[in-house]
Amino acid sequence: MDQTFRPLLDALKQIGVDAQAVDAAAAEAQRTGRPVRAILINDQVVTEEQLTLAAATAFGINTLDLVGYTPDPTALKRIPLPVVLRHRVLGLAINDGELVVGITDPADVVALDDVRAATGMTVRPVVVARSEVRRIIEKLQREDSDLGDLADAVLDDSTGMTAQQTSTDDAPIVRYVNSLIEQAVMNRASDLHLEPTEDDMRVRYRIDGVLHEVDLVPRGVMAALTSRLKIMSGVDITEKRIPQNGRITALIRDRTVDLRTATLPTVWGEKIVLRVLDTGGGIDLDIGKLGFTQHNLDRFSASFRKPHGMVLVTGPTGSGKSTTLYSTLGQISKPEINVITVEDPVEYRLRGINQVQVNAKAGLTFAAVLPAILRSDPDVVLIGEIRDGNTAQIAVEASLTGHLVLSTLHTNDAPGAVTRLTEMGIEPFLVGSSLDCVLAQRLARRLCDWCKEAYTPTEEEVMAAHWPLEDLAFPTLLYRPVGCRNCANTGYRGRIALHEVMPISPEIESLTIRRASAGEIREVALAQGMYDLRADGLAKAVAGLTSVREVSRVAV
């Protein structure tokens, strides 16, 4: 028997396995030449869980339970499939440039050396159960086979796959697209990017705000993949010169998932982005779950509970503005009031609310539909986005005529919304009298509750974070990411919003009428109790919700 297994056998005895049974298995391995692991499992001397724990104990490394665990797609793809199949190893996560590798036998130094050579990365092994490794590898083989079948099908048909071929349920392209979408949903991705390059098509998922590359599609397959997604989205499959928008509804493991599709012509072909809108459980309209501090929630709630006025939510694309607005509607929507929205697109269908989908081809633009909405006796109007002067003018007039108007605007901070409206051509006195509150927000990754680690920060670290000592006391305890099986070893799971709430006070209204700069408005707002995005984020770092590094990443 190979003596490298002696530490494993000793560890099995340490965790309480019958010593005589272990020695008998070792003697059987010595006599027959069979692997001792196989004898221990097949003869039911130990359970797979005991064998995994003992292997980790013997070599002083951690175990990782793969049941219900979703490996990082980027890490999975990092190890070439032939190496995965040869050594039964899996890339599970990438943490600070280190590849976390699942392995059943930590004594197999050849496997770890091959992984290092194939990836060029530092490797950190964790012990995993053989059956779970087998399950994931079989899934990888199926996906690889689907892509190979797809490439073969395209090679067999020099004209490319037809619409009829791409709609057959068992066609390779259908299986591959379904697998991509399912994997995106299971990995909690918010967006799925398919980006053509000179040689291939890159597939990336945005998970917790960060893009991860998960696959490379051969260029010969790109046309078939693009056609399949365009057919599913209901857009013109023959039009490749202009951007198009569509929608896909998919059933993923008994969950209904909507995907908003956008195509964009590039020099190498059409880029496709799918925004994942998981409607399976319905949108949670509890505004208390959006990460507001009590201070900010009180200031914001005071504005949207008024019968009229304009409330704006600002921030870049993907910062959670729509979710905040829907949650706001959930607080104010009642049977006795009439709520009408105009959106492009309607991301979530809400019961009891009249939602209008913009249709530019039919002439149903924001500016065109808003007058009709105002003639429909609304109490509350939600405008998906103020994009131009006409839409802004109608929104302002609606708020001045007794309606509560909710909308979004693309600005970097709350004070910038005031100057943005005046730049759109709205008279400053109208902006000052109609605007009631501006909420700016960003999304930061939330620390994993299972593995975050408390530590005492140094003075240099606090100063480097531009800590607002006038608002927040010097921190004696902060938290940092560690990584575990619940967060794919990233240290983060989910996201939390950082907020900046600026009610329009008489002083700010006066500054608006005088066309004051955003900087002047900011100074007054801060003096009146506004916490800027960074201060709100650092307060959440003190509470252990996120890290100082993450706050610095998303809030300047």
pLDDT tens, position by position, 460-518: 888 888 888 777 888 889 999 987 766 766 788 888 999 999 999 999 999 999 999 99
Strand pairing report for 380-383 and 404-409:
parallel
- Please state the length of the chain: 556
The CATH number covering residue 302 comes to: 3.40.50.300
Instruction: Measure the CA dihedral 131/133/135/137, to 10°.
Output: -150
Q: What is the pLDDT of residue 13?
A: 80
Residue 60 or residue 539, greater confidence: 539
- Asked if pLDDT for residue 523 goes beyond 60, the answer is yes
Measured N-to-C along each axis, helices 6-14 and 48-59 cross at an angle, to the nearest 10 degrees, of 110
Q: What is the pLDDT of residue 343?
A: 85
Cα→Cα distances 266→201, 242, 272, 373, Å: 12, 10, 10, 37
Beta pairing partners, 189: 207
Label residue 169 by pLDDT band (50, 70, 90).
low
Q: How far apart are CA 503 and CA 528, in angstroms?
A: 9
Label residue 83 by pLDDT band (50, 70, 90).
confident
380: left (phi over 0), alpha (psi -120 to 50) or beta: beta
**Phi, psi (rounded to 5 degrees) for 198:** -65, -35
The residues, any chain, with a CB within 8 Å of residue 470's CB and separated by 6 or more, are none
Same domain, 37 and 126: yes
Q: How do residues 215-235 score in pLDDT, each as one tens digit?
A: 788 888 888 899 999 999 999
Q: Which of 219, 243, 278 is the last residue of a domain?
A: 278
Share of the chain above pLDDT 90, in %: 33
Chain centroid to Cα 504, Å, comes to: 33
Q: What is the pLDDT of residue 151?
A: 53
Q: What is the pLDDT of residue 54?
A: 82
Same domain, 215 and 303: no
In a domain, 248, yes or no: yes
Same domain, 191 and 126: no
Asked if residue 181 lies in contact with residue 192, where contact means CB atoms within 8 angstroms, the answer is yes
Per the structure, how many domains does the chain have?
A: 3
Same domain, 124 and 180: no
Label residue 320 by pLDDT band (50, 70, 90).
confident
Asked if residue 326 lies in contact with residue 286, where contact means CB atoms within 8 angstroms, the answer is no
Q: How far apart are CA 323 and CA 291, in angstroms?
A: 12
In a domain, 136, yes or no: no
Q: What is the pLDDT of residue 278?
A: 63
Q: How far apart are CA 221 and CA 151, in angstroms?
A: 6
Share of the chain above pLDDT 70, in %: 91
Q: How far apart are CA 174 and CA 182, in angstroms?
A: 12
- Asked if pLDDT for residue 153 goes beyond 60, the answer is no
Give SS3 for 213: strand
Same domain, 220 and 175: yes
Same domain, 428 and 298: yes
Please state, as a whole number, how many other Cβ atoms lie within 10 Å of the Cβ of residue 244: 19
- Asked if pLDDT for residue 184 goes beyond 50, the answer is yes
DSSP H helices, 447-505, are 459-464
Same domain, 300 and 274: no
Which candidate, 487, 488, 495, 465, places its Cα nearest to that of 478? 465
Q: Which of 85, 115, 131 is the last residue of a domain?
A: 131
Mean pLDDT taken over the chain:
84
Q: How do residues 362-419 score in pLDDT, each as one tens digit?
A: 888 888 888 888 888 899 999 988 988 988 998 999 999 889 999 999 999 999 999 9
Q: How do residues 15-32 score in pLDDT, each as one tens digit?
A: 777 788 878 888 887 777
Q: How many helices and strands in the chain, by DSSP H and E?
A: 22, 18
In a domain, 376, yes or no: yes
**Strand ranges, E, within 338-434:** 339-343, 354-357, 380-383, 404-409
Mean pLDDT value across residues 55-81 = 81
Mean pLDDT value across residues 58-83 = 81
In a domain, 142, yes or no: no
Same domain, 423 and 522: yes
Q: Which of 278, 301, 326 is the last residue of a domain?
A: 278
Residue type at 157? D
- Count the helix, strand and coil residues of the chain and give each as a percent rounded to the nearest 5: 45, 25, 35
Which of 88-102, 280-294, 315-329 has the weakest average pLDDT?
A: 280-294
The CATH number covering residue 84 comes to: 3.30.300.160
Same domain, 518 and 421: yes
Measured N-to-C along each axis, helices 172-186 and 219-233 cross at an angle, to the nearest 10 degrees, of 70
Tokens of residue 191, six digits: 């967006």
Same domain, 31 and 101: yes
Tokens of residue 371, six digits: 């007058």
Greatest mean pLDDT range, 17-21, 297-301, 341-345, 369-373 = 297-301
Q: What is the pLDDT of residue 195?
A: 94
The residues, any chain, with a CB within 8 Å of residue 526's CB and separated by 6 or more, are 532
Q: What is the pLDDT of residue 146?
A: 57
- Asked if pLDDT for residue 168 goes beyond 70, the answer is no
- Asked if pLDDT for residue 159 goes beyond 90, the answer is no
The CATH number covering residue 250 comes to: 3.30.450.90
Same domain, 273 and 322: no
DSSP H helices, 192-334, are 219-233, 294-304, 321-332
In a domain, 483, yes or no: no
Same domain, 239 and 314: no
**Phi, psi (rounded to 5 degrees) for 537:** -65, -40
Q: How far apart are CA 420 and CA 398, in angstroms?
A: 18
In a domain, 213, yes or no: yes
Please state, as a whole number, how many other Cβ atoms lie within 10 Å of the Cβ of residue 477: 10
Domain carrying residue 217 = 169-278
> What is the CB-side half-sphere exposure of residue 139 using CA atoms within 13 A?
16
Chain centroid to Cα 138, Å, comes to: 26
Measured N-to-C along each axis, helices 415-423 and 518-527 cross at an angle, to the nearest 10 degrees, of 150
- Asked if pLDDT for residue 269 goes beyond 50, the answer is yes
Q: What is the pLDDT of residue 500?
A: 95
- CB burial of 266-305 (b: ≥16 within 10 Å; e: otherwise) equals eeebbbbbbbbbbeeeebebebeebbbbeebbebbbebbe
In a domain, 509, yes or no: yes
The residues, any chain, with a CB within 8 Å of residue 355's CB and separated by 6 or more, are 340, 341, 343, 346, 349
Q: What is the pLDDT of residue 161?
A: 42
In a domain, 160, yes or no: no
Q: How far apart are CA 437 and CA 425, in angstroms?
A: 20
Strand pairing report for 354-357 and 339-343:
parallel
**Phi, psi (rounded to 5 degrees) for 69:** -95, 140
